[in-house]
Structure 1
Amino acid sequence: MPVNPALTALWPAPHASEAVDATVHVPGSKSVTNRALVLAALASEPGWLRRPLRSRDTLLMAGALRAMGVGIEETVSSSSSGAGGSDGAGEAWRILPAGLRGPATVDVGNAGTVMRFLPPVAALADGPIRFDGDPRSYERPLTGVIDALRVLGARIDDDGRGALPLTVHGGGALDGGPVEIDASSSSQFVSALLLSGPRFNQGVEVRHTGSFLPSMPHIRMTVDMLRAVGAQVDTPESGGEPNVWRVTPGALLGRDLTIEPDLSNAQPFLAAALVTGGRVLIPDWPTRTTQPGDRLREIFTEMGGSCELTDYGLVLTGSGAIHGIDVDLSDVGELTPGIAAVAALADSPSTLRGVAHLRLHETDRLAALTKEINELGGDVTESADGLHIRPCRLHGGIFHTYDDHRMATAGAIIGLAVEGVQIENVATTAKTLPDFPDLWTGMLGASGV
């Protein structure tokens, strides 16, 4: 995906001099798109993905599956746009499953879903599949997936690192069966094994042995999507044992799936309404979803906004005041940077808890948020599992992103209320939210700000 070189330098975050009033069409969910790609690649018949997210992470996933022999045909009929930009309504991908094969090389970039979801797929391929990625990807935890696959019968060469780069020597099939893992550092370890589980000879039984399991909504998303393509899944919520998920072996159906808007990527735009005392509409907000971003309705209401879910979408209206919050974000850790940005502008202190695992994300998000907000005059301290944020009068300065898309959008939120904020490498938002700078300035332009 081409990147404007100017966006990799310093981007002046637009300052809002009045309330925002805009409609923003948010592109499709990265989490849903990448899970749907894996399930469609493993299906016994072709399927369609409509309105998929086209971003760095999803293109890496599609490219990896193509390298292993899966056909992915892209079609575009027409697209519609609102004040926030194109919603990509006319794009569709036809997925043509094929015999998975190597040799192939997979570039994971710094995408957790690619580096964790695809080694189990590669174990089903006929031939070696090498995985490599950005330097940061070497530091992200992968031991849970590697060790589990070895127990299930896979052969993996990682030179004892428990991390990238590595090679999975696919044998065309995998025994599967029961396996214990500690998924405390990422719920993606569980999802990775469940997604490919129906194709294992014995299915899979995943038992989480740790005391903490983050991002449970993402596991529920995986289970719901598996069931939608015909898989039989037993879960703790359906009467099974605590911390145990079982997937029965069987064929997966091809589906015609329309991807929901990415609710976590809607966060900065909803935050804009809260920060400026304005109004933002996100069309097509689902009435039922497993996306963690749906919790924004509750969190931003507690912080001073009001939400209304209509037939057309979600409307968030700011009151002109921002309140601090004491909140456990263990299930929705990806929302932490945006909430921290809003909290830095609040009228009372905030405590964000349950997110120690964010130290292992695209960057150490807790350390990065603390450093960058404090360098703008803030008062943020790290705790063992989160952040304490005390409101201060902020000033302009450079907001570093550490190649982390959610750091970039957090800086943009602060820039709405603080003049002179410059975002380093705002182009990193292309990881999950392509064209963010245009969407952001389009939102403000629609408001006449």
Structure 2
Amino acid sequence: MSSEVLWNAPVADQPVDALVRVPGSKSLTARWMLLAAAASEPSSLRGALVSRDTRLMRDALERLGAALEARDGVLHVTPVPPPCEHPAEPVEIHTGLAGTVMRFVPILAALHHGDVHFTGDDAALLRPMDAVIDALRQQGVEVTEHGEPGRLPLTVHGTGRLPGGRIEIDASASSQFVSNVLLVAPRAEQDLELVHVGETLPSLPHIEMTLETLRQAGVEASHQLDDQGRHSWRVKAGPIRPLEVVVEPDLSNAGPFLAAAMVTSGTIAVDDWPETTTQPGDAYRDLLARMGAEVWREDDSVCVRGTGTIRGINADMSEVGELVPTIAALCALADSPSRLTGVAHLRGHETDRLKALATELTKIGAPTEELADGLEIRPEQLHGAVFESYEDHRMATAGAIIGLQVPGVQVVDIGTTQKTLPDFVGMWLSMLHPEPAEDEE
């Protein structure tokens, strides 16, 4: 068991009834920050998430020469300057456990004239990086691997240029291996064509999110699907115009609060839910309705009401893999078995999420079998236990969801939620024990 402090997950003693405002999307914040650093002129991002992952992204971009300053809720970004004629001093970048930093920034580092060394948390050294390395080498960029091949730590020997052209890549392990190339592609010397040659392509909404951010930055970017079902993307070389954007709230981080409505037969409204979005978290509306919730939109909010019933679900989660820990937690509390498939790539996330979920859900009394690409969950009589988080923010929130109904759930290192949700514990407790309204005069 981890030596981290245990957090006693609070049991709900009444139905929740709360309006929740979640901070900005981690995925969108990372993309906007990187594009702003690669843009032609300074940009401003309102509502950008401030969390461990985005602090690591900020530090990485600053080490490459960008300047980022937060004033009055707006993050002002001055782009990375043009590369020096002569190689600069070596740069050291620590990625933590942030996939967006470890996979997005090395491509940008190729435009830095000099060596950029990447390392990360111990768990980050286990995450696949081979497709990033392969893409760089196809662009003629030298990469030195210092540990296990295809993993951190590594050094990008940037020359200040990316030629562009055609790249073939296997992104079966993560859609980030597509997004990272697309985000920096406008800075290449010629238009870029990226062709996917892997057997599966997870989390397509995240790639569409990347394309949409590029288009909003004035970049021509398109997606093609050929007769054989092979995906490719084209990005036109040219300037990235300065940005003035408002970052959407993180809908994936809204998931545990919406789940709380189902677990407690209460009601949760999430404010500022966009009418249209590329965020995978928007799929909660359909998934939770299929599992028995009442879901509706009210003005700018999406509302979920628990009905007292949580149904098991058979769902292909291939496009929304990051929602699996929250849905799996609900499946453990459901009235029938569930089967979640299409997510073999979750083995390469912050931890092997399939193994972690199977282990922890089985431990609390919901026998869970690992499938080749998912989980089969059989809800039975649940009981308290120590719920390991594996340094994974979504494992930690899954334990909190189950703890709403099951006494004695102790989550290891709840602080890991600071990766994307800086005050999860405070928000969770406020949802369960809202401040009484002041009497009107």
Question: For the superposition of Structure 1 and Structure 2, which TM-score range results when normalised by the shorter chain?
Answer: over 0.9
Letter in 1 for 2:118: F
- 1:232 has 2:220 as partner: yes
Question: Following the alignment from structure 2 to structure 1, what is the Cα–Cα distance between the partners of residues 110 and 168?
Answer: 18
2:387 paired residue number: 399
Question: Following the alignment from structure 1 to structure 2, what is the Cα–Cα distance between the partners of residues 425 and 261?
Answer: 25
2:78 paired residue number: 96
Offset from partner CA, 1:220-279 (integer Å, 9 cap, x none): 000000010011112127999841101110000111111000000000000000111100
After TM superposition, give the deviation of residue 100 of structure 1 in Å. Answer: 5.5
Question: Following the alignment from structure 1 to structure 2, what is the Cα–Cα distance between the partners of residues 201 and 331?
Answer: 32
Do the aligned residues in 2 keep the contact of 1:217 with 1:291 (CA within 8 Å)?
yes
Match for residue 104 of structure 2 among 117, 120, 125: 117
Alignment of 1:204-283 (within 5 A): 204-236=192-224, 242-283=230-271
Question: Following the alignment from structure 1 to structure 2, what is the Cα–Cα distance between the partners of residues 338 and 212?
Answer: 23
Question: Following the alignment from structure 1 to structure 2, what is the Cα–Cα distance between the partners of residues 372 and 211?
Answer: 30
Question: Following the alignment from structure 1 to structure 2, what is the Cα–Cα distance between the partners of residues 404 and 388?
Answer: 21
Do the aligned residues in 2 keep the contact of 1:372 with 1:399 (CA within 8 Å)?
yes
After TM superposition, give the deviation of residue 412 of structure 1 in Å. Answer: 0.2
Mark the CA change 1:100 to 1:349 in structure 2 (over 3 Å): closer, same or farther: farther
After TM superposition, give the deviation of residue 375 of structure 1 in Å. Answer: 1.0
After TM superposition, give the deviation of residue 8 of structure 1 in Å. Answer: 4.3
1:349 paired residue number: 337
Mark the CA change 1:305 to 1:223 in structure 2 (over 3 Å): closer, same or farther: same
TM-score (norm 1): 0.93
Question: Following the alignment from structure 2 to structure 1, what is the Cα–Cα distance between the partners of residues 55 and 298?
Answer: 32
- 1:75 has 2:71 as partner: yes
1:187 paired residue number: 175
Do the aligned residues in 2 keep the contact of 1:234 with 1:240 (CA within 8 Å)?
no
Unpaired runs of 5+ in structure 1?
1-6, 77-90
Shifted more, 154-163 versus 106-115: the winner is 154-163
1:140 paired residue number: 127
Question: Following the alignment from structure 2 to structure 1, what is the Cα–Cα distance between the partners of residues 241 and 227?
Answer: 25
Do the aligned residues in 1 keep the contact of 2:220 with 2:236 (CA within 8 Å)?
yes
Letter in 1 for 2:79: P
Shifted more, 37-46 versus 239-248: the winner is 239-248
Identity between Structure 1 and Structure 2 (%):
51
Do the aligned residues in 1 keep the contact of 2:186 with 2:239 (CA within 8 Å)?
yes
Q: Secondary structure at the match of 2:184?
A: helix
Match for residue 432 of structure 1 among 420, 433, 439: 420
Letter in 1 for 2:50: R
2:322 paired residue number: 334
Mark the CA change 1:421 to 1:115 in structure 2 (over 3 Å): closer, same or farther: same
Q: Secondary structure at the match of 1:94?
A: strand
Do the aligned residues in 1 keep the contact of 2:341 with 2:373 (CA within 8 Å)?
yes
Do the aligned residues in 1 keep the contact of 2:290 with 2:313 (CA within 8 Å)?
yes
After TM superposition, give the deviation of residue 155 of structure 1 in Å. Answer: 1.4
Do the aligned residues in 1 keep the contact of 2:61 with 2:80 (CA within 8 Å)?
no
Q: Secondary structure at the match of 1:235?
A: strand
Letter in 2 for 1:217: P
2:285 paired residue number: 297
Letter in 2 for 1:303: M
Match for residue 164 of structure 1 among 152, 156, 172: 152
After TM superposition, give the deviation of residue 202 of structure 1 in Å. Answer: 1.3
Match for residue 37 of structure 2 among 30, 38, 41: 41
Shifted more, 374-383 versus 406-415: the winner is 374-383
After TM superposition, give the deviation of residue 379 of structure 1 in Å. Answer: 1.3
Question: Following the alignment from structure 2 to structure 1, what is the Cα–Cα distance between the partners of residues 194 and 216?
Answer: 20
Unpaired runs of 5+ in structure 2?
437-441
- 1:287 has 2:279 as partner: no
Mark the CA change 1:386 to 1:193 in structure 2 (over 3 Å): closer, same or farther: same
Offset from partner CA, 1:267-324 (integer Å, 9 cap, x none): 0000000111100010000000000000000000000101112222111111111000
Question: Following the alignment from structure 2 to structure 1, what is the Cα–Cα distance between the partners of residues 119 and 19?
Answer: 39
Aligned pairs, number: 428
Mark the CA change 1:240 to 1:381 in structure 2 (over 3 Å): closer, same or farther: closer
After TM superposition, give the deviation of residue 75 of structure 1 in Å. Answer: 1.0
2:439 paired residue number: none
After TM superposition, give the deviation of residue 98 of structure 1 in Å. Answer: 3.1
Offset from partner CA, 1:146-202 (integer Å, 9 cap, x none): 111111121111147121111111111111210111100011000000000000101
Offset from partner CA, 1:327-347 (integer Å, 9 cap, x none): 000000010011000000001
Shifted more, 319-328 versus 102-111: the winner is 102-111
Question: Following the alignment from structure 2 to structure 1, what is the Cα–Cα distance between the partners of residues 20 and 299?
Answer: 16
Match for residue 388 of structure 1 among 370, 376, 380: 376
Do the aligned residues in 1 keep the contact of 2:44 with 2:76 (CA within 8 Å)?
yes
Question: Following the alignment from structure 2 to structure 1, what is the Cα–Cα distance between the partners of residues 310 and 82?
Answer: 52
Tell me which stretches of 4 or more aligned residues in structure 1 moved more than 6 Å. 237-241
Match for residue 374 of structure 1 among 362, 369, 372: 362
